[in-house]
Chains A and B, each alone.
Chain A
């Protein structure tokens, strides 16, 4: 399914930061996790993940380091920082507000009855 790019773009940072909060990952790993968890709803152009990761690193939300992956090869891992954790919390809050507001609008008649 091809979702509107705007939606994907806006919440990419939120999703990537949530994944990194659980554990450090490298780029390909993040793509695989996104595919698996979203039941393949999101199919990026995979390359577009990297500008996002680099921008997050410039902003100080993540740091990167080289590490040997399970496959035995060297990969660039990303780790969330304290600043990134704060940003994650903020984006989740905004996402909650956003999705609740959208839901309210969509189910406007039902809201009145709740």
Chain B
């Protein structure tokens, strides 16, 4: 860069000095910072001279001459502002900003949204006054990467004198892979039977999204006095078989905790 390219009539001694210094600094993205710092120094020294009574123009020339040789200073600064490191640092800054932005948009925002779902307890949707009995359990099975945990069955009836009602199965599932992608799972592909061998059809249910999915499955027309529920899954070489002993009201106390509401049919 030609140090005298600026019209010397219009540029001050400081400007001339600084452009000469900067002409030796190859990494131009640091020019602004270096220029400001050196200019501040020259101004402070100039103010100092003016306090001692030196006139403005002469103070500036003196201040600039105090700084030393422009070329030497420029070379020394150039050694400390390596263009290679400078460029790598700039590019890394862009890469980091892009990646952080993507990470927030693609993972943290959706994750935050999904994390809230498990706190909505699917059991809250069961009308409390229709519950005949409910029973907690902890049955676990795994297919591929998915772990299915059955937590509770709740039997409800709209008419307590009827023989059948709705059995709600409350269960969770999660996948052991790290990816929060892929398909969800319902129990709709399972076969539900009781101890008599009669089959009951999946009549509805829902599940929440997110890494831990809280789900509920309903079977209509389920007999009140059923003693065991069998759940069978057999597709594409994956299978599981779950047996859930049921304790309808009046069948006596059992080791599994449950709430038996009064007023039920004595069996």
Please determine whether chains A and B interact with each other in the same assembly. yes
Residues of A within 8 A of B (CB): 26-28, 31, 44-48, 50-51, 54-55, 58, 71, 73-76
> Number of residues in B with C-beta < 8 Å to the partner?
21
Nearest CB on A from B36, distance (A): 8
Q: How far is the CA of A112 from the CA of B69 in the complex (A)?
A: 47
A28: chain B residues within 8 A (beta carbon): 40-41, 44-45
Chain A interface mostly helix, strand, loop or mixed? Answer: helix
**Contacts between the two chains (Cβ within 8 Å), count:** 56
B68 contact from A26, A27, A46, A76, Cβ within 8 A: A46
The 8 A CB mask of B206-242 against A (1 = contact, 0 = none) is 0000000000000000000000000000000000000
Nearest CB on A from B28, distance (A): 16
Nearest CB on A from B231, distance (A): 62
Chain B interface mostly helix, strand, loop or mixed? Answer: helix
B40: chain A residues within 8 A (beta carbon): 26-28, 73-76
Residues of B within 8 A of A (CB): 21, 34, 36-38, 40-41, 44-45, 47, 66-69, 72-73, 76-77, 79-81
A50 contact from B37, B66, B69, Cβ within 8 A: B37
Asked whether A27 and B81 contact (CB < 8 A) given A45-B66, A46-B67, A47-B68, the answer is no
Nearest CB on A from B52, distance (A): 14
Contact across chains for A46 and B37 when beta carbons are under 8 A apart: no
